[in-house]
Structure 1
Amino acid sequence: MSTDEFVEDDDCVSDDRWSDVRMRSDAASAFLERKGWGCLTLADGGCAYSIPMSFGYDGDETVYFHLQTDERSEKMSYLDATERATLLVPEVEPPDWTSVVVRGPIEAVPDDEIDDAYVACAENAWFPACPWPDDRDPTDLEFYKLVADELTGRTSVVGQ
């Protein structure tokens, strides 16, 4: 699906300093609902760790991830240390591009929100066919959520 199917002139705010435009929050939200994967960045002090991730978006402010939770993994170490995570969701169809960034705290989903996480992931997450190699036993899966305290988007597409 092309970005010009959801971004119209009134969905964007022109910024004369840049060749691109800032997306309105409802257009950025619609983009997240369509995509289902992005790059999640975690941090421990001054060291960052980025991983491609499937996600479900509730259409409001919460992004859900279904993570393999092997306690020996580097990912879990960074997850435990991260106070504020960043999710970058890009789309590139040269010469056009769009990107949405979501920032906020990340934490395990409490039991009373598990159904919400399943619904969001079922509606728009993309999952790889096999998330672990044949020679390794599957690890436990657990839901995590990133609650947006910042959601921004930019695009090169202006109402075509």
Structure 2
Amino acid sequence: MGARESLEMEVDERDEFLGTGGTGVMSFSTPANEAPHSIPVSYGYDASEETFYFRLAVSPESRKQRIVNSVISFVIYGMDGDGWKSVIASGKLEETNDEAIATETLQGLQRVTIPLVDFFGKPPGEIHFEFYRLVPDELTGRKESKTPV
């Protein structure tokens, strides 16, 4: 049996893997002596603009509220018939209510599907959501591939 090696995905393969939305893990940067704050989230992806959109639950005591506008990394991964694939996006999470990006965001949200996934244990109508976007500074996709020994 051959060894496994990880290879970079081509842009079209990466965009196909991401689709118009799904789920992944968002990690927020924290002070050096703390572990990153990581949470599962659903996303929408606009391949034409290489932009991710998020519907995040927020509350006054939410840790996310204190670390929004910091640098994040966002990881999406899964397995298909060809093996494991993953995409990592990193950059600054932006609030979409800023007038400078509101129009772009509305256009982008029309091209994506953000799944409503229940990570909360209470009805979504009882949770306050806000929209954010990530225009990645870095966007990489890797796939697993068989190689000869």
TM-score of the superposed pair, with normalisation by structure 2? 0.76
Q: Structure 2: where are the runs of 5+ without partners?
A: none
1:85 CA drift (Å)? 1.1
1:61 CA drift (Å)? 1.8
Choose from 13, 17, 30 the match for 1:44.
30
The structure that is strand-richer by fraction is: 2
The structure that is helix-richer by fraction is: 1
Number of residue pairs the alignment of both structures matches? 136
1:94 CA drift (Å)? 8.2
Closer/same/farther in 2, CA of residues 95 and 139 from structure 1, 3 Å limit: same
The residue that corresponds to 2:55 in the other structure is: 66
Closer/same/farther in 2, CA of residues 72 and 85 from structure 1, 3 Å limit: same
Q: Does 1:115 align with 2:106?
A: yes
Question: Identity of paired residues, percent?
Answer: 27
Closer/same/farther in 2, CA of residues 152 and 144 from structure 1, 3 Å limit: same
Closer/same/farther in 2, CA of residues 136 and 142 from structure 1, 3 Å limit: closer
SS in 2 for 1:28: helix
Aligned-residue RMSD, C-alpha: 2.6
CA offsets, 1:124-146, max 9 Å, x none?
x2221x45334998232111001
Closer/same/farther in 2, CA of residues 131 and 21 from structure 1, 3 Å limit: closer
The residue that corresponds to 1:29 in the other structure is: 15
Partners in 1 of 2:67 and 2:139 — Cα distance? 22
Partners in 2 of 1:72 and 1:117 — Cα distance? 29
SS in 2 for 1:71: coil
Moved over 4 A (4+): none
TM-score of the superposed pair, with normalisation by structure 1? 0.72
